[in-house]
Amino acid sequence: MSSIEIKDIWQIYDSRVVLEKISLNIEQGSFVSIVGPSGCGKTTLLRMLMSEEFCTRGSILLDGIPLPAEPTLERGVVFQRYSVFPHLTVLGNVLLPMELKASRWLGKLLGPKRYNAKEEARAMLEHVGLRHAADFYPAQLSGGMQQRLALAQALMAKPRVLLLDEPFSALDPGTRADIHVLTKRLWEETKMTIVMVTHDISEAFRLGTRVIVLERPTPDDPTKGARITHDIPVRPRAKDKKGAA
Ligand SMILES: Nc1ncnc2c1ncn2[C@@H]1O[C@H](COP(=O)(O)OP(=O)(O)OP(=O)(O)O)[C@@H](O)[C@H]1O
């Protein structure tokens, strides 16, 4: 079964068609990159997958069931910036999804459960190379460290689907290359489904198992929305198969 089924969705804002007839089956465990010109509706599509936006027509199913009306922890998200909470330490940020899972309203774990959750959070920080920064606040981290923290935070909820909205675009090339390796490793280890919006074509092909291109056929015509113009399977390169990124 497809993990995500997008069925003939349209998005129309004030009689301007933004997305038109978008249908896409995304298999569980795939890494789908979405590219396209600015303003073609990439983020709108991602926001729909998060339940932060609702399509005018059509439907989206997750494992055969319509998406919940609200964002849920099974769908993690990392934005270009500001995905983490500035008033919480690095450890506090990574702990938060587990606290929310345990008690949505109180947002706190107590006693041995808190101790165990902290151990798990520290292990995740180790995994993304941030254990030494557990007591720092996000403002004290570099951009690359903040995005590693955002990934760690999203992964703590063990999401089935991870949605990435230009997550690496603010990073310098060296940091970006490092975080590509980390993202690919985390994706391979967790076997989750990832949908990533990016402007960077090489990043789309480097990370994705499939690249979707969205484009408006006639950019100035408000009655015609963006459609999927290309759906490109990406064959893993030989060295990727051996585990390198
Ligand atoms: N809530 C909204 N109300 C009205 N128009 C909206 C709304 N959300 C998005 N739009 C419009 O929909 C279009 C697509 O926006 P979206 O942010 O999805 O594009 P994008 O492809 O992600 O762009 P970029 O690559 O520049 O980030 C834009 O014209 C935007 O102004």
Summarised one tens digit per residue, pLDDT across range 73-90 is 888 888 887 779 999 999
Look at residue 17 and tell me whether its pLDDT is greater than 50: yes
Pocket test for ligand 1, best of 9, 10, 13 (most atoms within 8 A of CB): 13
CATH assignment of 1-74+159-245?
A: 3.40.50.300
87 alpha-carbon distance from chain centroid? 23
CB 72 within 8 A of CB 157: no
Pocket test for ligand 1, best of 44, 54, 227 (most atoms within 8 A of CB): 44
How would residue 241 be classed by pLDDT, with cut points 50, 70 and 90? low
Residue 72 or residue 11, greater confidence? 11
Distances (CA, A) of 90 to 17, 93, 97, 141, 191: 41, 5, 13, 9, 25
pLDDT value of position 13: 94
What interface predicted TM-score (ipTM) does this complex get? 0.96
Q: Name residue 222's amino acid.
A: P
**What are the extents of the domains in the chain?**
1-74+159-245, 85-157
Q: Name residue 72's amino acid.
A: T
pLDDT value of position 80: 82
Report the separation in Å between the CA atom of 138 and the middle of ligand 1, taken as the mean of its atom positions. 28
Summarised one tens digit per residue, pLDDT across range 130-160 is 999 999 999 999 988 998 999 999 888 889 9
Summarised one tens digit per residue, pLDDT across range 23-46 is 999 999 999 999 999 999 999 999
Average pLDDT, the chain: 89
Rounded (10°) angle between helices 143-156 and 111-127: 130
Q: pTM of the prediction?
A: 0.89
Report the separation in Å between the CA atom of 41 and the middle of ligand 1, taken as the mean of its atom positions. 5
Summarised one tens digit per residue, pLDDT across range 42-57 is 999 999 999 999 999 9
Residue 10 exposed, middle or buried by CB count within 10 Å (0-12, 13-18, 19+): middle
**Mean pLDDT on 214-224:** 91
- Which protein residue has the closest C-alpha to ligand 1 atom 7? 13
Give the rounded percent of residues in the chain with a pLDDT score beyond 70: 92
